[in-house]
Copies of this chain bind each other. A is one copy, B any other.
Amino acid sequence: MIVVFTGGTGGTKLVQGLQQVVAPEELTVIVNTGDDIEWWGLHVSPDVDSVLYGLGGLLSKDRGWGVDGDSFRCLERMKQLDQPGWFSLGDLDLATHLTRTALLRAGKTLSEATAELAGKFGIRVHVLPMSDNRVSTILDTAKGTLTFQEYFVRERHQVEVQAVRFEGAEGATPAPGVIEAIRQAEAIAFAPSNPVTSIGPILAVPGIREALRSTPALIVAVSPIVGGAAVSGPAGQLMQMNGWPSTIHGVAQAYDDFLDILVIDAADADAISTQPSASSREDSSNKAARFLATNTMMHTLGDKRNLAAFLLDACELRQNAGA
């Protein structure tokens, strides 16, 4: 069993790559729900939907989110009716949110609703929200307190962030299957997602980080930072705000209590030598992750498949080493 932690568009690309090289029943995806949003009265789970659309072959290649070939007629009419319009839901996309909301109102949990939607999209990969409880990524910014979507979509992340917190995380529990998947995994991969706002909410759910520290599985992450900057989005700025440099070393630091291997882009191979030595760290419980370089830019399906295969090979290296 391969387990992937993901959130955001880069994460979905890696999930699509893994779908090419791992049998669907052998793949479990644990998805950030910290940026879920109640929109027009509907429960929208943007990261879960990206994974579902990505795995179901529905994801818009142009936009990287939403449904391929979607239209936005309802959205345009909503704007004419003076309803909020900065978060774009397509007409086909709407059906997903209407269905999820109906399932939740009927008493299903978010993971049950996700499984039901996955089934309807013909997906056999296990897609698990991080928690069935509501956890909200909240950002204190120069423009006041914002939800993640307000920050990311409405403000186009062009606003200074002072702090990030995960409201509701303390009282949340991992969704059914999450801890079991971590414990039983042969390998665990962290997608090249924002460590602060895509992976951060997942790790904030009590029990998940602990399970990662104690799992026998090899844990490998793909750096979302290439050439000292985020491939897309505000990961660099948010990492610095969190006290981590926006470098491959900062990514390693974000996961330094459980990470075995950090896969970095070939462009950063030279930066490995500047890695702080494990002994320089204050907390001796930290692992010293090994760095492996390859092409991590996923423009084509071939890129995605190659990166996924590289991750699997990296895990076999370790397995071979242990044999």
Contact = CB atoms under 8 A, between A and B. Distances in A.
Interface of A: 40-42, 70-71, 73-74, 77-78, 80-83, 91-92, 94-96, 98-99, 101-102, 105, 117, 120
A101 B41 CA distance: 8
Contact of A99 (B42, B78, B92, B98): B78
13 contacts: A40-B102, A41-B105, A71-B71, A77-B91, A77-B94, A78-B99, A80-B95, A80-B120, A81-B95, A81-B96, A82-B120, A83-B98, A83-B102
A42 B42 CA distance: 10
A83 B100 CA distance: 11
Given A71-B71, A82-B120, A120-B82, A77 B102 contact: no
A225 to B, nearest CB: 37
Nearest to A79: B95
Nearest to A75: B95
B98 A41 contact: yes
Given A81-B96, A91-B91, A120-B82, A41 B71 contact: no
Given A120-B81, A120-B82, A40 B74 contact: no
Nearest to A72: B91
Given A74-B92, A95-B74, A81 B41 contact: no
Number of this chain's copies in the assembly equals 2
A137 B40 CA distance: 28
Contacts of A120: 80-82
A254 to B, nearest CB: 37
A100 to B, nearest CB: 10
A104 to B, nearest CB: 9
Contacts of A77: 91-92, 94-96
A75 B27 CA distance: 32
Contacts of A70: 73
Q: Which of A42, A81, A105: most chain B Cβ within 10 A?
A: A81
Contact of A91 (B74, B83, B102): B74
A76 to B, nearest CB: 8
A99 B73 contact: no
A71 B95 contact: no
